[in-house]
A and B are shown apart, each in its own frame.
Chain A
Amino acid sequence: MSEKHIESGEGHIGIPGYIGVFLILVVGTILTYSVATKDLDFIFPGANTLVALLIAFTKMTCVMLFFMHVYWSPKMIWLSAVASFFWLAIMFAYTMQDYLTRGSGVFTG
C-alpha cells in the first residue's frame, strides 16, 4: 500500500515474487484435492467444505493482492474488492435465513 508505488501503477513483487505466489497456488490446489479425499466429518459435519473454502479464500487472496496488484492499489480499489464480498455475504445470509427456517418435512416431528 506504500504510496510511492502508486505512481504509474508499477507496484509488483518482481519475478521471484510472482513465482512464489504461483507455487503457493499450486500447493493450495494439491492440498485442496488431498484434503477432499479424507473424511473430516469426525471434527464436525461439513468440515470438508469449510477446509476447501478456507484454502480457496487463501488462494483468491494471493491472486487478488499480488497478481491483480490490489496490494499497491489506491484505497478505492481495496474498498471495491472488500465491498463486493460484503454484499455477497448479505445475499448468502438473507437467502439462507429464509431457506433454513422454513417448515420441516413430513418425517420430522
Chain B
Amino acid sequence: MATHVDSADHYHQPGLQHQFEDMKQQEESVSIGMWMFLVQEIMFFGGLFTVYLVFRSRFPMAFAAGSNHLDAFWGGLNTLVLIVSSLTMALTVYYAQKGNRNMQVILILLTMFFGAVFLGVKTIEYGDKYKHGLVPVTGWNLKVKADPAHAAAEGHAQPCWEHGEHTYVNPRGEFQFPDCSMAKQAFDEQLQHPKETHLTAAERIGYFSNGQIDADKFRDKVRIFYWIYFVMTGLHALHMIVGLGLMTWLLWKAWRATFSHDYFAPVEMSGLYWHFVDIVWIFLFPLLYLLGRHFMH
C-alpha cells in the first residue's frame, strides 16, 4: 500500500492523493463521500418536513392563515434567484472540467452574488415579520406601546374574523395573529355540510372554547406554523451562508488556476452541496408560501 511514491518512472498526477490508485478511483470515492453527507442532510431536513407534515395535517386552516401572511412575491423571487445560482454553479463545474480559469472566476462570483441576493431578500422578509409581530418568540418582535388616544377608539368589539386593518400595538413584543377568519370560514362550511370534513379532529378542539372560536387558541396554532417557518428557512439560510464560505474558498483556488480537466473534485463537490440547498428551497417555497393561497377568494 505504501509503495505509491513519486519517481521518474511513475507519473503522479498533481491532484492525486497518495491513497488512491488513479484519478477515477479518487473521483468516485470523493463523490460517494459527498453523497453520504447529502443523504444525511436529506434525513436532517426530512425530520423537519415530518414535523411540518404532522402539524399541518392537524391544523390545516391555521397553517393556511399563517402562510397567507408570507409574501409569495419574495418567496418566488428567491426561488428564481436560487435557480439562476444553480445554473451558474453547474456552469462553473463545466468550465472547471475544461480548465477555463476566467470563466470559473466569473461564474463563482455570479453564484456568490445570487447567493447574497437570496440572503438579502430573506433579511427583508424576516424584518417584515419582526415589524408585524410574527416572530414566535415573546420579546423578539417590534415593541410598540399603546397610544392612549387611539386605544379607546380601537376597542375589542369586532369579532376576530372581521378583523381588518389595525394599528400595531405590541408593548411586550409578543407573537400576534388577530385574524381568525380562516377558522371562521372552515367552521361555517362545517355547519353547512356536517357530513364532510372541513375541520380536522384536532382543529375542533384546537380553535374553539365552549363552541365559540377562540382567537387566542387559533393564534397559538398559527404560531406553530411560524416556528416551523423560522426553523426551516433559518437552517436553510445557514446552509446558504456555509455555501458562500465554500464559494469564497473555491474562488481563491480557481483564481490560482488549481482546477483542470484532471482535477476538479472540489468544484464538483461544492456544486453538489449548492444544488442540494437549491432543492430544499424548491420544496420550502410551495410548502411554506403557497399552501393556503387557493383559499383566498
Within 8 Å by CB of A80, from B32, B83, B89, lies B32
Picked from B35, B79, B204, B276, the residue with its CB within 8 Å of the CB of A106 is B204
Main secondary structure of the interface of B (DSSP, over half): helix
Tally of B interface residues using CB under 8 Å: 60
Q: Mark B237-271, 1 if CB is under 8 A from A, else 0.
A: 00000000000000000000000011000001001
Contact of B278 with A by CB under 8 A: yes
A92–B53 CB distance below 8 A: yes
- A68 interfacial by beta-carbon distance below 8 Å: yes
B144 within 8 A of A: no
Residues on the A chain within 8 Å of B168, using CB: none
Task: Give B20 Cβ to nearest chain A Cβ, in Å.
Answer: 13
Within 8 A of A (CB), among B267-297: 268, 271-272, 275-276, 278-279, 282-283, 285-287, 290-291, 293-297
Mark each residue of chain A from 31 to 71: 1 if its CB lies under 8 Å from any CB of chain B, else 0: 01100111111000100110011011001100110111100
Q: Of A52, A85, A108, which contacts B42 at CB under 8 A?
A: A85
State whether B268 touches A56 (Cβ < 8 A).
no
User: Are A26's CB and B275's CB within 8 A?
Assistant: no
A8 touching B23 in the complex, CB below 8 Å, given contacts A18-B87, A18-B94: yes
Contact flag A18-B91 (CB < 8 Å), given A29-B83, A36-B293: yes
Q: Are B279 and A60 in contact (CB under 8 A)?
A: yes
Partner among A37, A63, A108 whose Cβ is within 8 Å of the Cβ of B294: A37
Contact B42 A88 (CB under 8 A): yes
Cβ of A108: which chain B residues have Cβ within 8 Å of it? 201, 204
Fill in one digit per residue for B73-110: 1 if any A CB lies within 8 Å of its CB, else 0: 00010011001101101110110010000000000000
Q: What is the number of residues of chain A that contact chain B, defined by CB distance less than 8 Å?
A: 60
Contact B293 A8 (CB under 8 A): no
For A73, the closest partner residue in chain B by CB is: B31
- Shortest Cβ distance from B73 into A: residue: A33
CB-defined contacts of B69 to chain A, threshold 8 Å: none
B271 partner, pick from A6, A67, A74, A87, beta carbons under 8 A: A67
Q: Are B27 and A8 in contact (CB under 8 A)?
A: yes
Cβ of B160 within 8 Å of any chain A Cβ, yes or no, is no
Check if A63 sits within 8 Å of B279, measured CB to CB.
Answer: yes
- Interfacial chain A residues near B86, Cβ < 8 Å: 22, 25, 63, 67
Complex Cα–Cα for A49 and B293 (A): 11
CB-nearest residue of chain A to B289: A36
| Cβ-defined partner of B39 (8 Å) among A56, A60, A84, A95 | A84
Chain B residues in 8 Å Cβ range of A59: 279, 282
* Cα-based distance from A9 to B94 in the complex (angstroms): 11
* Chain B residue, CB-CB nearest to A66: B90
Are B287's CB and A105's CB within 8 A? no
Report how far A6 CA is from B25 CA in the complex, Å. Answer: 11
Asked whether A107 and B204 contact (CB < 8 A) given A29-B79, A81-B35, A95-B53, the answer is yes
B271 x A68 contact (CB < 8 A): yes
- Inter-chain pairs besides A26-B80, A99-B57, 8 sampled, C-beta below 8 Å: A8-B24, A63-B275, A77-B32, A81-B35, A81-B39, A83-B39, A91-B47, A107-B201
| Interface residues in chain B, defined as those with a beta carbon under 8 Å from any beta carbon in chain A | 23-24, 27-28, 31-32, 35-36, 38-39, 42-43, 46-47, 49-50, 53-54, 57-58, 72, 76, 79-80, 83-84, 86-87, 89-91, 93-94, 97, 197, 201-202, 204-205, 261-262, 268, 271-272, 275-276, 278-279, 282-283, 285-287, 290-291, 293-297
